[in-house]
Chain A
Amino acid sequence: MPSKESIQLLQGTLDLIVLRTLATMGPQHAYQIATRLQQISDRLLNLNQGTLYPALVRLEQYGWIKGTWGRTESNREAKYYAITRAGQKALGEETQAWRRMSALVERLLLEEPQP
C-alpha cells in the first residue's frame, strides 16, 4: 500500500535496478523481480507490478537481458530473464554513471546555504 514515505521512481533507474537484480540473483521471472524490488525497497517504492513490463521489453530490445520460457517450482510456465554479456557491461557503465550522479547531488546537498 502506498504510504506517506513512498517515493517515486526516478527516470531510468528502474532499468538499473532490474539489471542489478538479475546480476546478483541469476535468472528471474517478472514476479520474482517484482517481489525482490519490494523486499529491498522496504515497501518504500510505490510500484504497480505491471509497470515492470515496459522496462523488461526495453532491456530485451537493447540486448541486455534475454527471456526464455521455463517452469516455476509450483510447475507454472513463466518467462525467466537472464542478464547477457552486453547487459553485464552496460550494468557496469550505468552503475558508474549513477554513482557519479548521486555523488554530485550529495555534494550539492551538503553545501551550506549562503546566509
Chain B
Amino acid sequence: MKHLRRIFLRFYLLFANSKVEADLAREIGTHLALLEDEYLRRGMTPEEARRAARLAYGGVEQAKQLHRDERAFQELGQILQDTRYTLRQLCRSPGFALTAILMLALGIGGTTAIFSIVEGVLLRPLPFPDPDRLVVLGDVLEGSHCVSCAQSSVTAPDIRNYMRDTQTFSHLGGYRQRLFELSGTGSPAAVNATRMSGEVFAALGVPPLLGRTFTQQEDEEQQQVAVLSYGMWRSRFHGDPNVLGSKILLYRKPYTVIGVMPRDFEFPLNPGHVNQSELWLPLSLQPEEFMAGSAASWNSRMVGRLKPGITAEQAQSDAERVARETMRDSPAYMRSFRIHAVVTPLQEDTVAQARPLVRTLFFAVIVVLLIACANLAGLLLVRAIRRRREIAMRLALGARAATLLRQAIVESMILSIAGGAIGLALAAVALRLGVSLLPQTLPRINEIGLDWPVMLFALGLALLTGLLCGLAPAFAAIRTSVNEALKEGGRTVTSGGGHARLRSALVVAEIAVALTLLTASGLLLRSFEKMRDVKLGFRPDNTLAALYVLPQQQYRTQSAIDEFTKTLLNDLGQLPGVEAVGVTSFLPAAGNSWGISFTIEGYVPPKGAGLNMAAMSLLEGNPFEALGIRVLRGRIFTQSDNAGSQLVAVVNRKMAERYWPGQDPIGKRLRRGLPETSTPWMTVVGEVDDVKLGSPDAETIPQVYQPVTQTVASEGVFASVGELSATNGWIVLRSRMAPEQMEDTLRATVRKIDPQLPLYQLQTMEQAISKSEAPRRFNTVLISSLAIAAVLLSVLGIYGVIAFSVALREQEMAVRMALGCQRFGVILLILSSGASLAAVGCGLGLLGAVAASRLLRSFLFDVSPFDPSVLTLSAVAMLLLALAASALPARRASSMDPMRALRGE
C-alpha cells in the first residue's frame, strides 16, 4: 500500500516539479537562517555565522539533488526533459517534423491497414471452439483436372457413407449452399441458404443466440425447420424476440423458425461478403439425390470434428477406406471414377486461396514502410550532421554519450509515435472505406477491422521504426570527434566520409526496393491490359441478364414449366426494341459454370488424359443471338429441336479442336457420361466461338450447348424418374436501347406471368464482366498505388541526399567556378553523382524484381515475370525520376554567385 502510494507520487511529482522545488528552496532557506540565528546567538559575527551555518548544513545543491532523486523517478524525468527539448527543437523546424511524421504515417498506416487484413483473414483462429480440430472431408476425382476443385467436394451418397462408416470423427456432416426463394415475410426475395446435416451444428459447437439448432434426427426425419442468421433476423424480422415458431416459405414450402444464430456466426466461410449464408436448413437428402445423375454430382462439402487424439492423417486413412467401399458399391456407370478421400484442416481450406494475394500485399506494404524508414533515417542523419558543432560543444562540456544517444532515440521515437498515431487514424479511415472494395476472393471479410492485435502491431511497428531510424544518426552523433568539429570553427563542415557512405547506401537501397515494386506493378498493369484485350466470345453491349428459379411447389409438372418458359420468351420477344431473347443455364462472365464428363465417338484419349470434361449449357429461345456469340459452322438450335426429335448439340471451337482436330465437327457424335454409361448419342450440328464463362483471365474450357428440352432424353440412365428440366435459367435480352432502360420492363413482364417470382442478379452484361474483372483490378490498383508511394518516397530520398551534399559542397563548387569551371560542368557533376546512385539502385532493384518473380507469377496473366519491356521501362522511369530529383539542387548550385559563397564563410 505505502509503496503504491509512493510510486504514484513519484510519477506525479515529475510533472509538479516547479512548485515542489520552490517549497524545498523555502524550507532550506529557513533551515539556514535558523542555523545562522543560533550561531549569532553564540556570539559569532554575521559573516562567521553564515559560514558556520553552511558548513553544518552541508552542500545545498547536493541536498536538493538527493531530495529530487528521492521524490521522483529521475530517469523518467530526464526522458521527459528530453521530450520537451525535442518538441521545442521540432517546433523550430516544422518542415522537417511534418515531412518525417507524414512519411511515417503513410508507411505505418499502410502497413497497419494491410496487417489488419492479414490478421483477420489469415491469422485469426476460426470463430469456433477448438478450431484446429475442425476438418473438411472431400473427394479428389482422379483425372477431372477441374480448376474449381481446389476445395474438395462430395456427392450425396458420399455424405451418407462417410457419416455412417468413418470412426475417427466425433461429429461429421455434409452441407450444400444454394439460393432459395423466400416468401411469407415481406416481399419475395432470393436468399443464400445452406442445407446441412444436424451434425454440422454439433461439429461447429456454436450455441444459438435464440432457440435451438436442429439435430441429426430432425434432419433425417425431414423436418421442415430453419435457423436464421443474425442479419436475417434483424433485417427481415426486426429483431423480434418472438420469432421462434413463426413460419417462412422457402420455394413456397412452409418452414418453422426454431433458432437464431449469434451475430459473428458464419458458415460456410465463403470468400467475399455477398455469398454468406442467411439461413440454415436440414440437409434432408431426398431419395432422388442418391440416384442416377445426382449421385455423380460432386456438389456438396463435408465438415467434421476429429475425435480427441486423432490426427488428420489417421482420419484421412479412415475416410480413404470408406471411399474404396463407396467405389466398390457404386453403380456400373460410375465404375471408372477413381476417388480419393482428403482431410484438410478447415482453417487451411478457408484461407488457402487468399494466402498468396494477402502475402504479396503485405510484402509490398512492408517495402513502402522500409523506404519511409530509410528516408527518415536519412533526414535524421542530415540533422545530426548539421548539429555536429552543437553536439561537439556539448561533448566538450561533459555531456555523456549515453545522454546524447538517449536524446537521439527520444527524437526519432517522438516522430515515429506521432507518425504511428496518424497512421492508425489513416488505417481506420482506409479500412472503413476499403473493406467494401476488397475482392470477393477473400474469406472472412467481416472480421477485418482495427482490433487489439492490430493496434498493438501498429504501436510495436512505430516503436521499432523509431528505434531503427534513430540508431544510425545517434551513433553518427556520438562518433563526432570533438576536436575536429570544433577546430573547423566557422568553416562549413564537410561531412565525414562514413556519413556520406551511409546516406548513399540508404538511397541506393530505397531505389532498389522501389524499383522492385515498380516492376511488379508494371507487370500487373500489363496483365490487366492483356486481360482487357481478351476476346470474350460474346458482345456484352445492350444486353441484360437475370436469373430465375421456379419453385417446385408451384411448377410440379414439365408442362407447367414449359408453359412458363414459352410465355416468358414470347412476351419478352414482343416488347418494343427487343432484338433477341433467350434462356441459358450458364451466364458468360458470371463464373457459375461447372463441367460434366462426355464420351466422344471414335476419340481415343491419350494415356493418362483423365476424363473428357466440358461445360454444358442448356438453352431455350435464342441466347446465341442475344449474347452475340458468333456461329462459326453449321447451325444453331431451332424450334424443331425438341424433346421428340433427334438429339443435337452445338460445341465451341476449343471442344472441336480438342476432339476433332483438323476436321469438321458437324455430324460428329458425343454423349453424356463415361463409355460404360448407357446414354444416347447427340449429333453436333454447329460450332460457335469460345466464350469466357468466368473472368477473362481464366482459361477457356471446352463447351457444349444443348436444347434444354432434350436434357432428360440425353441423360439416359442418369435421368431420375419424373426429372424436370428448365426449372431455372438466366434470361438474356438484347435490345436496341440502353439495357438499363429495359430493367423495369423485364421485371414487369415476369411479374405479369408469375407475380410472386423474384428475379435474381438483374444486371447488364457489362456489369457482369466488370464484376468478373474485379479481383484483378483490385490487385493491380493496390500494388500500383503502393508502387507509386514507394517511388515518390525514394525520389524524395534521392532529392534530400543530393540537395544536402550540394549544400555541403557549396564552397567547393564556388572554388571550381572561380577557377573557370562552366555552370554546365557543375550541373553535370551533380547530376552524375545522382545518376550513379540511381544506376546502382536500379541494378540491385532489377535483381530484386527477379527474386520477387516467384511470388508474383501466380498473379500474372499472359505476361512473363521477366517481361523485358516492363523491366526496361521501369528501370528507365526510375533513372529519369532520380535525375529529375537531382536536377533541382544542380540548378540551384549552378546559379549561385561564387564570390558571395566564398565570402560568406
Q: What is A's interface to B at a CB cutoff of 8 Å?
A: 29-31, 34, 48-51, 53-54, 57-58, 61-64, 72, 74, 76-79, 86, 90
Contacts and interface: CB of A to CB of B under 8 A. Distances in A.
Interface of B: 2, 5-6, 9-10, 23-24, 26-28, 30-31, 33-35, 37, 56-60, 62-63, 66-67, 69-71
A61 B71 contact: yes
Which residue among B27, B28, B71 has the maximum number of chain A CB atoms within 10 Å of its CB?
B27
Nearest to A30: B31
DSSP class of B's interface residues: helix, strand, loop or mixed? helix
Which residue among A30, A57, A77, A90 has the maximum number of chain B CB atoms within 10 Å of its CB?
A57
Which residue among B23, B59, B60, B66 has the maximum number of chain A CB atoms within 10 Å of its CB?
B66
A43 to B, nearest CB: 12
Nearest to A54: B70
A82 to B, nearest CB: 15
A72 B34 contact: yes
Given A48-B58, A50-B59, A79 B5 contact: no
Given A51-B63, A72-B30, 5 more contacts: A31-B30, A49-B57, A50-B66, A74-B37, A79-B26
8 contacts: A50-B58, A50-B62, A51-B66, A53-B27, A72-B34, A74-B34, A74-B37, A76-B34
Nearest to A50: B63
A57 B70 contact: yes
Listed from nearest, the 4 A-B pairs whose CB atoms lie closest are A48-B58, A50-B63, A54-B70, A50-B58
Contact of A62 (B5, B26, B35, B60): B5
A57 B27 CA distance: 12
B180 to A, nearest CB: 71
A62 B57 CA distance: 25
A29 B494 CA distance: 61
B23 A53 contact: no
A29 B23 CA distance: 13
Contacts of A76: 30, 33-34
Contacts of B62: 50
Contacts of A72: 30, 34
Contact of A54 (B9, B27, B34, B66): B66
Contacts of A90: 2
B59 A31 contact: no
A44 to B, nearest CB: 16
A21 to B, nearest CB: 16
Contacts, number: 77
Contact of A51 (B2, B5, B58): B58
Contact of B67 (A53, A62, A77): A53
B3 to A, nearest CB: 8
A21 B547 CA distance: 95
Nearest to B53: A49
B5 A50 contact: no
B903 to A, nearest CB: 57
Nearest to B9: A61
DSSP class of A's interface residues: helix, strand, loop or mixed? helix
Given A50-B62, A76-B33, A79-B23, A61 B57 contact: no
Contacts of B24: 53
Contacts of A62: 2, 5-6
Nearest to B61: A50
B23 to A, nearest CB: 7
A31 B31 contact: yes
Nearest to B37: A74
Given A50-B57, A53-B63, A61 B6 contact: yes
A31 B27 CA distance: 10
Given A49-B35, A53-B66, A62-B2, A79 B27 contact: yes
B30 A54 contact: no
A11 to B, nearest CB: 14
Nearest to A63: B5
Nearest to B34: A31
Contacts of A63: 2, 5
Nearest to A35: B38
A28 to B, nearest CB: 12
Which residue among B23, B24, B58, B62 has the maximum number of chain A CB atoms within 10 Å of its CB?
B58
A78 B31 CA distance: 8
Nearest to A31: B34
A61 B56 contact: no
A48 B62 CA distance: 11
Contact of A78 (B9, B30, B57, B59): B30
Which residue among B24, B34, B56, B70 has the maximum number of chain A CB atoms within 10 Å of its CB?
B34
Contacts of B26: 77, 79
B48 to A, nearest CB: 15
Contact of B57 (A48, A57, A58, A79): A48
A114 to B, nearest CB: 43
Nearest to B69: A54
Contact of B30 (A48, A50, A77): A77
Contact of A61 (B5, B27, B60, B69): B5
A58 B2 CA distance: 11
A15 to B, nearest CB: 12
B58 to A, nearest CB: 3
Contact of B34 (A50, A51, A61, A78): A78
B67 A57 contact: yes
Contacts of B70: 53-54, 57-58
Nearest to A34: B31
B35 A50 contact: no
A50 B23 CA distance: 15
A35 to B, nearest CB: 8
Contacts of B69: 54
B38 to A, nearest CB: 8
Nearest to A32: B34
A78 B28 CA distance: 9
Which residue among A51, A53, A61 has the maximum number of chain B CB atoms within 10 Å of its CB?
A61
A58 B3 CA distance: 10
Contacts of B34: 31, 72, 74, 76, 78
A84 B58 CA distance: 29
A10 B62 CA distance: 20
